[in-house]
Structures are given as C-alpha cells and as structure tokens.
Structure 1
C-alpha cells in the first residue's frame, strides 16, 4: 500500500521540554493506523504537528507526496487531511443538521455576490449539501437527532457528530484524537462500527490516537507505539501486546492502574 501521509524526523520542544524527538511515522492509504503510548509520550504534540496546529522545530510532513510542513490547517483540509479533537468542537446553538450543512468548504452562499448573480447555482448547491447531510446522518445514526441543538447532545453523540462533519468534506485522511474519550459503552460500539464502515465502505484512511485498547484491538492495523517523544516500535496489535518493551512502556502501566 502506498504512503498517504509521511512524517520524517520530527522534533518539537516547548521551553526546556523535548516533546517530540526524531519521530517518524507513515500512514498507508486504506489503513486504520493506531498511535498509542503512555501519557506524556508526545502523541498529542505529534498530532498537532501533522495537522498544522503547530509547526515543527525540525522535520518534514508529506501528504499525497506533497510537502505540507508549513501549510496552515485549513490548507491541509482542502488537500483532504482532516482532524478531530479530544473535546468535540461543535456549534452548540446550531442543530445537528445545521452543523453538518455548515461543514463543507467554499460554498457559494457564503459569499455576497453569488447570492444575487447566481441564485440558481446557490440553491442547487444548498440542495446537494442538504442531501449529503441527510445521507451522513444515516451513516452516523443521528437522523433522529437532526433538529436537536448540538450543545444538548451527550458526549458520545457529539463525537459521532464531529466524525460526521468530516464526511461533509471531501477528505482522504481523518486524524482522530481519542474518539472514545467520554463515550459510554453503548455508543462506543456505534462509533467503532462507524469508523470501520467508513474505512471499508467509503475508502477513508484513519490515524487514531486512543487509550482504549479494546478499540485499538478491534480497528487498528498497524499500531505505532511512542514513548518519550520517539518511536518505540510498530506492528500488529496481537504482537505488540506480547512485546516486553511495549508492556513495560504502556500496556503494563495501564494494567497496573
């Protein structure tokens, strides 16, 4: 499988703290790649480097064989690289449907002149966005909540909405930052199934940071393990869970509380 995203020799420090140290990562097209490690391993900082939230002290990020190291997050999004956040960032006083319809970029109705000069095109595009939003709500099992305010949703429902919003954008790679955080067990199964379906049926590639090892085991292959800002190892989850270095660095610490 070809590499969709590559990070090479990434370095990032904050004051005297070296958060990422020579980290390299590759995400192959069509995979659900997991990124795990203990607290403080540098996972969140690496995610911010990949998505453009911060710029690295050194290193390179390539997406679709294009150097995006210095591109702003919105430019990366237009290339097809989207991320979610651990804390959902919905528009709380907008409905589920409105949140989805607001997501697509470069809508004609967002500009002044097309409303007057191209009203037919504006209406046609809005109708297509509405059709797509209804389709996405079905995929995310949110149809019965379409008219509810996003701020009134549960934590798990907000995660489903945030993931659904990424589907309103023409994207190839979705970076998920702890999608399982704060999600109850019933909705966790729905969320896991949605990610699996988006990968298998809709061709979306994922990079997932997650502490829930059950989710990682169900979804991710390969799995990348970070510790102290660097790559520890990578491979299939079944192999990693028996790796003494991984047990010591992460899985063992989780098991011990």
Structure 2
C-alpha cells in the first residue's frame, strides 16, 4: 500500500496487505481519508464486494461494518503518520505498535488550546482543521504540540479540529516504541516540527486511553471473530484465467 509523501516527493510504502485483509471504501468510515494505492507484488486472487452492494451488507452484518471501520482507522492512521508527520522516518511496523496508544478526538471551533489540550494531558497531532494565534509557528496538518512542551496561551481552534491524542501517561511507553520521541529529538526538542506534506495533500490526488478534556469521538465496538457471520463469495473454477498484475516490488515496508 503506497501513499504520496509531498515532503519526499515520492510514493512511500505504508502497509503490507496480506491474505484475508481488505482495502477500499475508506470514505465510508473516515472523514476526508488520505489517498493511497495498492501495488501487487505478484500473482493474486481477490474477492470484490461491489460498492453498490456495500451498504446492504453493512446493515445486514454489523460485524463486517465494525471490522471495516477498525481496519480503515488503522490504515488511515498509518498513512497520516508516514506521510504527514515528523514520525515519517519510522518503519510502518514500529508505528503500528504505537497506534493502540493513540485516539482520535475532535476539538470545537473557538476552543482555547491551552485549556482544550493542556500540556500535562498529552501530545496532539493535527489531522484536520486550522489553528490561529500570534505565537508562531502555528501548527498545520501533521504538526504536533503539547507534552512535554508548553501550549501557547494564545492558540485557539479557528475551525473544528480533528486530532490524534497520545496521553502523557503513555509517554514513556511511546518513547520505548519510537525512540525519536525522547528529549532532544525533533519531536520533543522543539515546540513544533513543521511538516510540508499538508501543503500539497489534496493536490496529490488494546489499551483504553484517559479521557481528554474535550469531546471524544464515539468508540466503535471491537470485532469479535467468533461472532462473524461468514459471507460466501463465488469460487473460481480451474478453467478460469488468473490475471497477472505487474508493478514495482514493494514487499519491503519502510
């Protein structure tokens, strides 16, 4: 799975799609998803659920809806971290270990960030929205602020913000997973590490967390495989031809 990194000006691998996993229809489960594309590393066989029939099956099989929501959330978080943040240099398998400690929340427009995202609460990454204030540099999409740095008192949400939140309770654990979060690194050594990826984003077509002092997005139930209702797809016959897909070999995930 590849997504365009505008800072590096190239496609970067963000995830390896393995047997039994799915992709597509991210816009059904995520607001303004980051774009990506899949490259086959060899011959394969896929089952397709047509978009026109997706809504029907989502209503008929709630476990399918929850499973697709979960897998989409993981994929979109990985893409965001890999192409828009200062953590882009970390391998995807490392970032995936960090995901259980992150949660997505919203901050209402007009909120003062010193109160909505207090320093001691944790660190915040801007996924969507605009921040205003006089203290520069102002965070843009992909930038982070908060623990262990002080949040400027004059920063406020110019629009509703969608952010990823890492509670300060998990800061030491996060540093073990991602050593660049340690003091003196690009993340924690300066108030902000500005990401240039956001400026061309649209042009380039389990562990519970403490509750922050702002509106928490609704949590989806975790998929229980024992409750999954099987969906039977038509099986290919030996006489059918398997299509060969060609492309660069991206089996090594950075």
* TM-score interval, smaller chain: under 0.3
Of Structure 1 and Structure 2, the greater helix share is in 1
Of Structure 1 and Structure 2, the greater strand share is in 1
TM score, norm. by length of structure 1: 0.26
